[in-house]
Amino acid sequence: MRNLVKCVVVAFVAIAVSIPAKAEWDPTGEEFYGKSGNDFGLWMSVGVEKKINKKWSIGADFEYRLKDNIDGSGWGEPARWTLGIGAEFKVLKWLKLDGGYKFMRDHSCATWDLAKYRESRGFWGTKHRFYLSAIASYKYRNVKFSLRERWQYTYRPEVADVTYDWEDDEFLPKKGKGKNVRRSRVMISYDKKGLWLEPFVSVEMYHGKGIEKMRYTAGCEFSAGKHNAFEIYYRFQDIMEDDNFNDRDSHILGVNYKLKF
């Protein structure tokens, strides 16, 4: 099992290193005219979690996302990779708090502003994300219900020479921007003592200026020994904002691994 864990970690690191740091102009316009929309994405993560005592635990994870083309036409295109750290505190038997920070490298798709006659190329940019959550849970026999309310703040620093102004014939920077979002998630799972897997379904809502996004997920968690936890899920992501070019309606297959000690 240790060799398996090492192989998984090495594979993820190799993929992350292969991601380009800066995108070039796409003279064909293919990136803007529909190819960047998510058809069927693949999200993968590997993490570690350390239980300090009965109340506290800490952890770290690496996530890598592919978008488009894994529906039979290819292996997908890099969309984002993330390094995160966090901590969890058990307040009561039914209530937990968690918080953390994520460093993200995110790919933004090319866009065209007809009103200002400006074109923005696709590029890789950095994002910093902070979050705080409260998770309440209740178990009735073998069925567990949980509600998670999360606040997250994401800041994207300024990126130079991203937008081309056709009227003035000059490159313009993409200014830095911060965004607050509240995420509400309801989850139902089947948690029977002695059963090696735990199936679940969940619905999550993103609140910004209005309802910006909905996520519908079904999957299962299972363990391989005392220290190894896996999760496999299918997710449909429904984007409410029509002008959001970087985050479109998509079907997602997720595979997660966590080492607990």
pLDDT band at residue 75 under the 50/70/90 scheme = low
Q: How far apart, in whole angstroms, are the C-alpha atoms of residue 190 and residue 199?
A: 6
Region 68-74 average pLDDT: 51
pLDDT over 60 at 37, yes or no: no
Strand arrangement of the beta sheet that strand 159-165 belongs to: 111-113, 118-120, 159-165, 170-174
More confident residue, 38 or 169: 169
Average pLDDT, the chain: 83
Of 145-149, 217-221, 243-247, the one with minimum mean pLDDT is 243-247
Percent of the chain exceeding pLDDT 70 equals 79
What pLDDT does 9 receive?
A: 43
What pLDDT does 39 receive?
A: 67
More confident residue, 65 or 246: 65
Strands 143-156 and 123-140, sheet pairing: antiparallel
pLDDT band at residue 4 under the 50/70/90 scheme = very low
Please tell me the pTM assigned to this model. Answer: 0.81
Region 172-191 average pLDDT: 94
Element (H, E) at 187: strand 177-190
pLDDT over 90 at 34, yes or no: no
Element (H, E) at 10: helix 2-17
Q: How far apart, in whole angstroms, are the C-alpha atoms of residue 62 and residue 47?
A: 6
Q: How far apart, in whole angstroms, are the C-alpha atoms of residue 92 and residue 94?
A: 5
Tell me: the pLDDT tens digits for 218-236? 999 998 888 999 999 999 9
- Fill in the DSSP letter of residue 34: I
pLDDT over 90 at 260, yes or no: yes
pLDDT over 80 at 65, yes or no: yes
Q: How far apart, in whole angstroms, are the C-alpha atoms of residue 120 and residue 223?
A: 45
Which of 3-12, 117-126, 159-168, 209-218 is predicted most confidently?
Answer: 209-218
Phi-psi region of 32 (alpha: psi -120 to 50; beta: other; left: phi over 0): alpha
Strands 111-113 and 95-108, sheet pairing: unpaired
Q: How far apart, in whole angstroms, are the C-alpha atoms of residue 133 and residue 186?
A: 13
pLDDT band at residue 130 under the 50/70/90 scheme = very high
Q: How far apart, in whole angstroms, are the C-alpha atoms of residue 35 and residue 19?
A: 18
Determine whether 68 is exposed, middle or buried from the number of CB atoms within 10 Å of its CB (0-12, 13-18, 19+): buried
Domains of the chain: 2-113+126-152+182-260 (2.40.160.40)
The residue assigned the tokens 């309801």 is 186
